[in-house]
């Protein structure tokens, strides 16, 4: 229901907002939801071109009615959780109403006063994240990483039956732009008898998408695969910063812990399920030898259109590049279609034991690596665990991230006949460790 194509996706629809029609990420066909502030209290907003539309002001303007007004009221506070809890219908009504207001020239006088330059605003985390779970649906990443950590047994036998995940840490999820302080942890060299505590020497990124849960499920209830997409409010980009040396020593038997909970960065905007409707595509067929998913994970409609045509880029700027005024260098280009499990399968599996998902919960997809080197989604893979450092245009090399490096994820949804949309940046700069 929420993932249907309507007049808001019409590529011929234009906006009176200056520059919006030429904006590479936020034309009127996108209308992503976020939380912003401009000196006053943080509140809900919608990105349009290089402006932000104030939803709290819109809720008081008298310009909206019905479910659109209900949604704008729910988006007037410091988090979008109340809006996410309303589910797809009011969110979609708000999208349609805002799309009409921003496209009809006669509305410019009434609405333009509620638009602010994004460059003058601060963006916040769009929702208070109650729980954060990180999946592992990038099968090429899982195979590559498995080769590093378990050379004899890279892809474990459960992988093609279970959408594998681990419970991450919600408290350290932050919005794009938050600096990353290099973490300290236990490091143990292969030939050392005991670990030392020191700043990580293998600081990495992970190219992921974040899935924002809208309506949840009650404790003890499941979410059937056929309705799982209805529980997804939208997507962001997500960087699951990782300390590979800490990870290698601590991860058995319970999985990632301090190697991955020191910061998780998300892009500021929730690109809604509604906005992403035109970019649905078939889930790539599984190789003939792979098992058919169990029935609770299999839905014909999900297989037919449960993947998303989103290109994902990773870029790096080093301090030397910054000093020389050089443009960021691209480290990787992948695509969301390289996920072995769909978002609906992740949601259905998560709730399949009666675990309750709640509005504003965040799911990471796991690192989305392409099958080939130019699309690997982490430095662990790109440099083969540091054995093949990347040569940069400055003459520098990188095995893992160094202090002062700035790493940025970008995403672009594209489909023939539709206006491409973007996600905004997911960026962070590495600061030196505070002390060991
Ligand atoms: O032990 C392993 O195989 C690796 C585990 C992870 O790196 C967890 C993770 O964050 C998965 C991912 O991003 O795909
Ligand atoms: Ca991860
Ligand atoms: Mg993390």
- Give percent of the chain with pLDDT exceeding 70: 99
The verdict on whether residue 132 carries a ligand-binding annotation is no
- 3 state DSSP class of 52: strand
Distance from the CA of 395 to the center of ligand 2, in angstroms? 30
What stretch(es) of the chain map to CATH 2.30.30.230? 7-124
**What is the mean pLDDT of the segment spanning 267-292?**
97
d(CA 298, CA 226): 8
**What is the mean pLDDT of the segment spanning 102-123?**
98
Q: What is the pLDDT of residue 400?
A: 98
Phi and psi angles of residue 74, each rounded to the nearest 5 degrees, phi first: -65, -25
The verdict on whether residue 260 carries a ligand-binding annotation is yes
Ligand (nearest to CA of 156)? 1
Distance from the CA of 138 to the center of ligand 2, in angstroms? 10
Over residues 227-256, the pLDDT tens digits come to 999 999 999 999 999 999 999 999 999 999
Residue 407's nearest CA partner among 295, 241, 281, 296 is 241
Distance from the CA of 271 to the center of ligand 2, in angstroms? 20
Q: What is the pLDDT of residue 148?
A: 84
Pocket of ligand 1 from Cβ distances under 6 Å: 134, 136, 138, 141, 145-146, 149, 206, 208, 240, 251, 256, 260, 366-367
Ligand (nearest to CA of 171)? 3
Q: What residue has token string 């996600």?
A: 423
d(CA 171, CA 42): 19
**Into which CATH architecture does domain 132-431 fall?**
Alpha-Beta Complex (3.90)
The verdict on whether residue 134 carries a ligand-binding annotation is yes
Q: Which atom of ligand 1 is least distant from the CA of 137?
A: 14
**What is the mean pLDDT of the segment spanning 316-342?**
98
d(CA 408, CA 429): 9
d(CA 344, CA 306): 7
**What is the mean pLDDT of the segment spanning 320-348?**
98
Residue with CA closest to ligand 1 atom 10: 366
Distance from the CA of 348 to the center of ligand 2, in angstroms? 19
**What is the mean pLDDT of the segment spanning 28-37?**
98
Predicted confidence band of residue 370 (pLDDT cuts 50, 70, 90): very high
Residue with CA closest to ligand 1 atom 6: 256
User: 146-160, 384-398, 417-431: which range is least confident on average?
Assistant: 146-160
Average pLDDT value for the chain: 97
Q: Which atom of ligand 1 is least distant from the CA of 251?
A: 1
Q: Which atom of ligand 1 is least distant from the CA of 141?
A: 14
Report whether pLDDT(152) > 90.
no
**Into which CATH architecture does domain 7-124 fall?**
Roll (2.30)
d(CA 427, CA 315): 9
Residue 267's nearest CA partner among 65, 35, 27, 62 is 35
**What is the mean pLDDT of the segment spanning 402-413?**
98
The residue to mutate among 145, 166, 204, 409, having the most atoms of ligand 1 within 8 angstroms of its beta carbon, is 145
What stretch(es) of the chain map to CATH 3.90.850.10? 132-431
Predicted confidence band of residue 436 (pLDDT cuts 50, 70, 90): low
Catalytic residue at 141? yes
Over residues 60-84, the pLDDT tens digits come to 999 999 999 999 999 999 999 999 9
Q: In what order do the strands lie in the sheet with 115-117?
A: 115-117, 51-54, 43-48, 33-37, 122-124
The verdict on whether residue 8 carries a ligand-binding annotation is no
Q: What is the pLDDT of residue 54?
A: 98
The verdict on whether residue 208 carries a ligand-binding annotation is yes
Predicted confidence band of residue 1 (pLDDT cuts 50, 70, 90): very low
d(CA 218, CA 323): 53
**What is the mean pLDDT of the segment spanning 41-45?**
98
Q: What is the pLDDT of residue 109?
A: 97
Q: Which helix (H) or strand (E) holds 108?
A: helix 108-111
The catalytically annotated residue of 23, 124, 140, 141 is 141
ipTM over 0.90: yes
**What is the mean pLDDT of the segment spanning 386-415?**
98
Question: Which two three-digit tokens encode residue 368?
Answer: 């989305």
Q: What is the pLDDT of residue 415?
A: 98
Report whether pLDDT(310) > 70.
yes
Q: Which atom of ligand 1 is least distant from the CA of 255?
A: 1
Predicted confidence band of residue 215 (pLDDT cuts 50, 70, 90): very high
Distance from the CA of 113 to the center of ligand 3, in angstroms? 39
Predicted confidence band of residue 151 (pLDDT cuts 50, 70, 90): confident
Ligand (nearest to CA of 264)? 3
Q: What is the pLDDT of residue 2?
A: 58
- Give percent of the chain with pLDDT exceeding 90: 96
């Amino acid at each position: 229901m929420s993932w249907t194509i309507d007049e808001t996706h019409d590529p011929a629809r234009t906006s009176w907002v200056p520059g919006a029609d030429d904006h590479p990420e936020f034309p009127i066909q996108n209308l992503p939801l976020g939380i912003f502030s401009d000196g006053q209290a943080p509140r809900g907003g919608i990105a349009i071109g290089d402006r932000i539309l104030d939803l709290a002001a819109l809720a008081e303007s008298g310009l909206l009615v019905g479910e659109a007004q209900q949604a704008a009221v729910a988006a007037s506070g410091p988090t979008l959780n109340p809006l996410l809890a309303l589910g797809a219908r009011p969110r979609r009504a708000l999208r349609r109403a805002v799309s009409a207001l921003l496209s009809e020239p006669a509305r410019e006088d009434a609405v333009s006063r509620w638009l602010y330059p994004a460059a003058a605003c601060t963006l916040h985390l769009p929702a208070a994240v109650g729980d954060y779970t990180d999946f592992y649906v990038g099968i090429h990443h899982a195979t590559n990483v498995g080769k590093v950590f378990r050379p004899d047994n890279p892809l474990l036998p459960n992988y093609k039956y279970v959408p594998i995940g681990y419970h991450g840490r919600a408290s350290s999820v932050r919005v794009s732009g938050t600096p990353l302080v290099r973490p300290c942890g236990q490091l143990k060299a292969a030939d050392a008898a005991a670990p030392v505590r020191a700043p990580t020497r293998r600081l990495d990124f992970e190219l992921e998408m974040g899935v924002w849960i809208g309506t949840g499920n009650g404790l003890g209830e499941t979410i059937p695969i056929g309705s799982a997409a209805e529980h997804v409010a939208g997507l962001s980009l997500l960087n699951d910063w990782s300390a590979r040396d800490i990870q290698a020593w601590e991860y058995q038997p319970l999985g990632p812990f301090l190697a991955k909970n020191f910061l998780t960065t998300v892009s500021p905007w929730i690109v809604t399920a509604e906005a992403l409707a035109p970019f649905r595509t078939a889930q790539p067929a599984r190789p003939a030898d792979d098992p058919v998913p169990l029935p609770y994970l299999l839905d014909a409609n999900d297989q037919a259109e449960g993947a998303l045509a989103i290109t994902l880029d990773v870029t790096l700027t080093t301090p030397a590049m910054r000093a020389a005024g050089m443009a960021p260098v691209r480290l990787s280009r992948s695509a969301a279609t390289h996920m072995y499990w769909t978002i609906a399968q992740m949601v259905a599996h998560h709730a399949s034991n009666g675990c309750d998902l709640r509005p504003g919960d965040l799911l990471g997809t796991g690192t989305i690596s392409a099958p080939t080197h130019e699309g690997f989604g982490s430095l662990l893979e790109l440099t083969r665990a540091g054995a093949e450092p990347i040569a940069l245009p400055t003459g520098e090399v990188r095995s893992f991230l160094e202090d002062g490096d700035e790493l940025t994820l970008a995403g672009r949804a594209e489909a023939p006949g539709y206006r491409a949309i973007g996600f905004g940046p997911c960026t962070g700069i590495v600061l030196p460790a505070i002390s060991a």
